[in-house]
Amino acid sequence: MKSFKAAVAQTASNPVDALASAEKAAAIIRKAAGEGAKLIVFPEAFLGGYPKGASFGAPIGIRKPEGREAFRDYYERAIDLDGEEVALIAEATAETGLFAVMGCIERDGGTLYCTVLFFDGEKGLIGKHRKLMPTAGERLIWGFGDGSTMPVFETPLGRIGAVICWENYMPMLRMHMYSQGVSLYCAPTADDRDTWLPSMQHIALEGRCFVLSACQHITRGAFPDDHECALGDDPDTVLMRGGSAIVDPLGNVLAGPNFEGETVLYADIDMAAVARGKYDFDVTGHYARPDIFQLRVDDRPKRAVSNISDEPLSD
């Protein structure tokens, strides 16, 4: 497909009800499809919630009982990949044919992961990316992804991949994405600062790819009264102000940034712009200098426990 319409959903999740968030996302997917969109990107942790301002009762060297209870509650709000939330998104993408990139909090055993899910129309959930490096206090509540979930998917729209929030500041991860030929680089985030858009423009120029970044616009009032929040308890306080945007391969901003409220931003994507951009700069091709610089990526899954019964018998 040489050109199509793409969307980024700057919308608030329901931080205490992942199923309600999934229902909201499904409605947005159907509405975006009605507007002609073929691809939509949702923010970081949209299903399961981003606990902005919470400390989970963890001063250095101490875990308070109320913090353990806060984590238990957050753990219960997370999603399982075989759960109803995923089924609702898969149903909406199958109905509309949209490719959806969805941020979530994934529950796996006793650990939570900040994850992006990829839904490809009638194929349903086709893969995921787990955040490699939770930032600062996120490390307390989220596990670390490994190299086995850094995919780029070949689709009729282009090659789609995702990098979450401050992972975008990891040069070697970006280089790995570029090496896979990503042309539709999705950046779900919780970073609403003025400095975020210039980073997205840099990545678009560096990778000569389209960058689609989605951040929530959410207020304190979306959270329950007992939610611990360092930003206060005024329900009108904006905890994340958006800033979602779509950028082309030469760094031109096609849509956004928007800081005004919940919205869906649209832009027309001309995939020929990728080749035009690489005319004078291909970071893993003619501009790479592999005689000097090389990157080695370990993309094997890492498991804490392996069973001998899972291994084939040797002759």
Residues that are catalytic = 44
Helical packing angle, 84-96 and 18-34, nearest 10°: 10
* Rounded Cα gap, residues 129 and 133, in angstroms: 12
Q: Are strands 99-108 and 111-120 parallel, antiparallel or unpaired?
A: antiparallel
* Rounded Cα gap, residues 21 and 218, in angstroms: 13
Torsion of Cα atoms, 37 then 43 then 45 then 51, to 10°: -150
The helix (H) or strand (E) run that includes residue 118 is strand 111-120
The helix (H) or strand (E) run that includes residue 183 is none
Check: CB of residue 197 under 8 Å from CB of residue 212: no
| All residues at 6 or more sequence positions from 267 whose CB lies less than 8 Å from its CB, including other chains | 5, 6, 246, 254, 255
How many of the other CB atoms lie within 10 Å of CB of 108? 13
Check: CB of residue 77 under 8 Å from CB of residue 22: no
Q: Which residue has the tokens 């401050």?
A: 166
* Rounded Cα gap, residues 79 and 98, in angstroms: 22
- CA 256, 238, 117, 166 torsion: positive or negative? positive
Check: CB of residue 10 under 8 Å from CB of residue 192: no
